[in-house]
Amino acid sequence: MLKRLPRVFFSRSVNQVAAELIGATLLVDGVGGRIVEVEAYHHTDPAAHSFRGRTVRNAVMFGPPGYAYVYRSYGVHWCLNFVCEPEGSASAVLIRALEPTAGLGVMRRRRGVSNERLLCSGPGRLCEALGVTAAHYGLPLDRPPFEILPRPAAVDIVAGPRIGITKAVDKPWRYGLKGSRFLSKPFTVSPGRDH
DNA sequence: TGCCCGATTAACT
DNA sequence: GTTAATCGGGCAA
Instruction: List the nucleotides on chain B closer than 7 A to a protein CB.
Output: 6-10
Give A1's pLDDT tier (boundaries 50, 70, 90): confident
A34 vs A150: CA distance, rounded Å: 10
Query: For residue A2, what pLDDT is reported?
Result: 86
Residues in contact with A109: Cβ distance below 8 Å, sequence separation at least 6, in sequence order: none
Query: For residue A189, what pLDDT is reported?
Result: 63
Tens digits of residue pLDDT in A70-109: 999 999 999 999 999 999 899 999 999 999 999 999 999 9
Distance A79 CA to B1 C1' (A): 29
Tens digits of residue pLDDT in A132-181: 999 999 999 999 999 999 999 999 999 999 999 999 999 999 999 999 99
Which of A81, A47, A56, A50 is closest to A66 using CA atoms? A81
Q: Is the CB of A57 under 7 A from strand C?
A: yes
Q: Which residues in window 72-131 of A are less than 7 A from strand C by Cβ?
A: 72, 74-76
* Nearest-nucleotide field for A125 (CA, C1'): B9
> In angstroms, how far is CA A48 from the centroid of its own chain?
14
- Residue whose CA is minimally distant from C8 C1': A75
Residues in contact with A102: Cβ distance below 8 Å, sequence separation at least 6, in sequence order: A27, A30, A31, A32, A33
| Strand-pair partners of A38 | A95, A175
SS3 state at A47? coil
Alpha helices in A2-103 (DSSP H): 14-21
Tens digits of residue pLDDT in A44-67: 999 999 998 999 899 999 999 999
Q: Is the CB of A52 under 7 A from strand C?
A: yes
Q: Is the CB of A148 under 7 A from strand B?
A: no
Q: Is the CB of A166 under 7 A from strand B?
A: yes
